[in-house]
Chains A and B, each alone.
Chain A
């Protein structure tokens, strides 16, 4: 059996979306130390904001995307002020449960505003070009380019800037970061801005690749969590590597298992990964 390169291409597209999304989730976890279940619904919110501005109001897609990303960044900060900030000293489990409440609230708000059916961005419908037997769309190419740009930008931020180094420090040891003079509440603000923006972008990419639905983000959480945990939760480069691994594996698996079982493949990869490397891809070898 020869592997059709189309599946690899699809895997790279899906992997790009998962990588970007997993990166945002892992950044938030790194500083705030809880798993934000509402993250998938942040993604959906970004997708719907861009949809409203593009398909409903008629703005060009590029403008709608920038506004959707910015809107979700602001939204993440707002949700923190309204909800999460009040639970700063609570246990991660409490925060996880609170975030489930936030997730339900956002998802139903989206359903109330935009209805339960699927929507699409206003993009020109063209026959997909074909290169070496691989069909690709302009949207898919844009998704890959945008993810690479974003991943590079975040890498530079975390490695080269003072704030980025402090973010990594805080994700390592928050008390010690405060001892060194960093106002970690300020870092939390920056992380919500970055995490919210990245979630929004991930959601828009997902909407471009498939369709915009109220539960799009929630469904996408399974492979995103798989990528985040596989990469070692809180480790940005792990999340990116995990994202591409899960994305490609998931799409290529279609060759052998029915496509309804894609998510099962993501979970299987996660379980095998955790058995072999409990601290994540780049963590210390088995403890």
Chain B
């Protein structure tokens, strides 16, 4: 397994949010975490990337223990994370945002900033014309593109997305999911949390249902979509 989290317990202050959660992501896989509000989906992502401390349990990435690492060290392992809100530097230009995305690799031999920027533009052509604009001046959908582009600057070994479609118009949601599928097809494993569960499960190799900070059901995207229990409890009536 590329990412392996076992019995993870974490939370904020006195409030325990995750009560021993297991999660794994294999190479090339796209895994989607679904579940009701307050299930601990975002907290699980934040715990993996080190923004929230792990109280118990263990998180391994590519056979290395990353449980105790702070966020600025997690990225060195090739894990890039796009938070749900506040995922771009609003006061910085797009180019500067991309520069920040490249921070962990700048100075490394393999890394060529201009080359990576070109590669990222291929995936997000709209950004090309807006280089000098501040990210804060962009629309929500464009900001989401900047956020994903920034996270892709390092050519990550795992891309973690928290609600990439939140707050976007339906047409843009299609666009975002298309990009995510492309990124995954190109070989980058993805772990995401999505409110738009049906859509996300259709795109994913595997789905994990989280409820009350515990694992519930797990299966391929198709299996979960077909499951009556999942449909009734977590997908809502259609």
Contact of A168 with B91 at beta-carbon distance under 8 Å, contacts A175-B51, A181-B72, A181-B75 already known:
yes
B51 touching A173, Cβ below 8 Å: no
B124 at the interface (CB under 8 A from A): no
**CB-contact partner of B72 in A162, A169, A171, A182, under 8 A:** A182
Interface size for A (C-beta < 8 A) is 18
On chain B, the residues within 8 Å of A173 by CB distance are: 86, 89-90
- B104 & A181 in contact (Cβ 8 Å cutoff): yes
With both beta carbons as reference points, the residue of chain A lying nearest to B101 in the complex is identified as A180
Q: Is the CB of B86 within 8 A of A181?
A: no
- B76 to A179, Cβ gap below 8 A? no
In whole angstroms, what is the CA distance A179 to B83 when docked?
9
| Cα-based distance from A173 to B87 in the complex (angstroms) | 9
Determine whether the beta carbon of A162 is less than 8 Å from that of B106. Answer: yes
Bound complex: CA A178 to CA B89 (Å)? 12
Binary contact track A203-228/B, C-beta < 8 Å → 1, others 0: 00000000000000000000000000
Closest to A175 in B: B51
Interface of A is mostly: helix
Mask, A137-174, CB within 8 Å of B = 1, is: 00000000000000000000000001001101101110
A173 to B100, CA, bound (A): 12
Determine how close the nearest CB of chain B comes to the CB of A271; give it in whole angstroms: 26
Contacts of B104 in A (CB 8 A): 180-181
Chain A interface (Cβ within 8 Å of chain B)?
Answer: 162, 165-166, 168-169, 171-173, 175-184
Interface residues of B (CB under 8 A from A): 49, 51, 70-72, 75-76, 81, 83, 86-92, 96, 99-101, 103-104, 106, 150
Q: List 8 A-B contacts (CB under 8 A).
A: A162-B106, A165-B96, A166-B100, A168-B89, A168-B96, A169-B89, A180-B103, A181-B103
